[in-house]
Amino acid sequence: MNPVIDEPPVAIPGLKWANRFATLGADFYTELLPTPLPSPYWVSRNRALAGELGLQEEWLASEDALAVFTGNQLAQGLQPLASVYSGHQFGQWAGQLGDGRAILLGEIDTAGGPQEIQLKGAGMTPYSRMGDGRAVLRSSIREYLCSEAMHGLGIPTTRALCVTGSDARVRREEIETAAVVTRTSPSFIRFGHFEHFSYSGQHEQLKALADFVIDNFYPACRESAQPYADLLQAVSERTAGLMAAWQAAGFCHGVMNTDNMSILGLTIDYGPFQFLDAFDPGHICNHSDTQGRYAYNKQPNIAYWNLFCLGQALLPLIAEQDQALAALESYKTVFPQALEARMRAKLGLPDARPEDKALIENTFKLLAADKVDYTIFWRRLCHFQSPEGREAVRDLFLDRAGHDAWALQYSERTTPADIGLQADLMLKTNPKYVLRNHLGEQAIQAAKLNDFSGVHTLLTLLQAPFEEHPGHDSHAGFPPDWAAAIEISCSS
Ligand code: AMP
Ligand code: MG
């Protein structure tokens, strides 16, 4: 027992704990307790998610909740642990990594299915390597807001329940303060978990892990004659869908190492991510990524590379290498199809036609040539049917001739009636609000001075990003000039 947590566990009313991951056994994790933080305070609570999890509002407002979600107090039913995984980082085998600062509290049954609850920044674990086991307020707010922004956009993601802060000092490039973000997911298993057991020769554990994932998350694979190849194919297809969603939303993850790839095809581990401001296909959001390995336009290929690593890790379970290769092949058809479907929806095209591919390519080319603001372009396009709407789109381009040629191509593809019918749908596909770097930055600077109103406002806007939210147009405008100078690195 951690000597610092000396209070008896509190009850969290209404929750049923399941803790399936813990049944995998001691080879998969180390049981341990969070390390408490001094003088914790609330930064933000996500009431929508709390409701989905079945947490009572009064309890979430309590001192007990603050203590539990800072790691200062245990609750009945928890089985805290840190899991072990490995991974490829920036293209190189990095060996053993693991939850260096995340502690899985356990898993609860909810109306929407089981959800694991994890504290990120909860102190050192056997996998902390050189790290201090902590997360800073800045990065915790970014993860919290972006998880919910992605969820609001309908993009598969882990979610975030709350952020608590502390005055404990943490050294990064400068001294910052510690915070804990409570995340939830049906599972936090990564490609790197499979790589860990495969490359260390623990093939029984590899099989147990694959069986666990199949039984709990991909039950259809169980019916197959080759369940593990089918698992690889199912993960490839989900990942392809995720990449299409990221590309269509203009989302850059920034650190697509295999340990940051969810086996469920969820966006996971928010670090130096960015939503594009000006459209630049080669944009690199991670200041530490000097080679641009994880640039926006490289993400789909990197995901395939990562799936290849997963396939290699699964080979001991797959009889024929050809089966693994065939499973991976599915990515190459599912990704372009999924991207095309998303782009067609963004353009408001009611059906699929062969010429759409060229129109989509031309749209991207045009946006890139003029570095047009990605989110504003799509939102304005929703009103293309009206003369003022058309003019507002045209105003975004310096190259008017280029724009006009594209607009003609677009108009020919869509009769005004179509577009009118589609406008409503387009407004539900092209968000008004995304978590731009400068918006996060402003909320973080205020939060450092104990003003959390900016975090709350952003949470409200980003959880419903397709709605107008009158009075908040300033959150939907062009980024200020200083936004381009914001540097976000791996340091978090
Ligand atoms: P990331 O790139 O943030 O996904 O982290 C890569 C690895 O480093 C994971 O094993 C993390 O748990 C670990 N890590 C990152 N930051 C810290 C930290 N401050 N303390 C301990 N481990 C860390
Ligand atoms: Mg990570």
Would residue 441 count as lying in a domain? no
Would you say the CB of residue 133 lies under 6 angstroms from ligand 1? yes
> What's the pLDDT score for residue 417?
64
Domain residue limits at 385:
349-427
Would residue 474 count as lying in a domain? no
> What's the pLDDT score for residue 1?
39
Report the percent of the chain where pLDDT is more than 70: 98
- The pTM score is 0.97
Would residue 10 count as lying in a domain? no
Question: Do 165 and 121 sit in the same domain of this protein?
Answer: yes
Asked whether the predicted pLDDT for residue 414 surpasses 80, the reply is yes
Question: Do 177 and 198 sit in the same domain of this protein?
Answer: no
Residue (of 37, 38, 62) closest to 50 by Cα position: 62
Would you say the CB of residue 123 lies under 6 angstroms from ligand 1? no
Question: Do 174 and 196 sit in the same domain of this protein?
Answer: no
Question: Do 307 and 274 sit in the same domain of this protein?
Answer: yes
Number of independent structural domains in the chain: 3
Task: Enter the DSSP assignment of 129.
Answer: T
* Ligand 1 atom with minimal separation from the 102 CA: 12
Beta-carbon contacts of 249 under 8 Å, excluding residues fewer than 6 positions away, are: 153, 155, 275, 431, 434
Asked whether the predicted pLDDT for residue 231 surpasses 70, the reply is yes
**Bigger pLDDT: 30 or 5?**
30
Answer with the one of 325, 344, 363 that is the final residue of a domain: 344
Question: Do 223 and 305 sit in the same domain of this protein?
Answer: yes
Pair 205, 197: CB distance under 8 Å: yes
Would residue 463 count as lying in a domain? no
Answer with the one of 344, 371, 394 that is the final residue of a domain: 344
Confidence band (pLDDT; 50, 70, 90) for 416?
Answer: low
Would residue 465 count as lying in a domain? no
Ligand 2 ion: nearby residues, β-carbon < 5 Å: 260, 269
Would residue 271 count as lying in a domain? yes
Question: Do 196 and 181 sit in the same domain of this protein?
Answer: no
259 is catalytic: yes
Would residue 149 count as lying in a domain? yes
Question: Do 339 and 283 sit in the same domain of this protein?
Answer: yes
- Residue 483 corresponds to which amino acid? A
Asked whether the predicted pLDDT for residue 144 surpasses 90, the reply is yes
Angle, CA 458 vertex, CA 453 and CA 463 arms, to 5°: 130
Question: Do 148 and 264 sit in the same domain of this protein?
Answer: no
Pair 483, 438: CB distance under 8 Å: yes
* CA pseudo-torsion sign 313, 314, 315, 317: positive
> What's the pLDDT score for residue 7?
83
| 489 C-alpha to ligand 1 centroid (Å) | 13
Beta-carbon contacts of 76 under 8 Å, excluding residues fewer than 6 positions away, are: 9, 10, 11, 12
Answer with the one of 374, 408, 427 that is the final residue of a domain: 427
Which helix (H) or strand (E) segment holds residue 59: the answer is helix 57-60
Question: Do 144 and 31 sit in the same domain of this protein?
Answer: yes
Biggest CA–CA distance in the chain, Å, is: 71
End-to-end CA distance of the chain: 28
Question: Do 92 and 202 sit in the same domain of this protein?
Answer: no
Could you give the CA distance from residue 12 to residue 298 in angstroms, rounded to a whole number?
Answer: 44
Asked whether the predicted pLDDT for residue 253 surpasses 50, the reply is yes
**Chain-centre distance of CA 87, in angstroms?**
18
Residue range 262-280, pLDDT digits in tens: 999 999 999 999 999 999 9
Question: Do 179 and 221 sit in the same domain of this protein?
Answer: no
Reading the block at residue 283, the tokens are 């944009």
Question: Do 335 and 365 sit in the same domain of this protein?
Answer: no
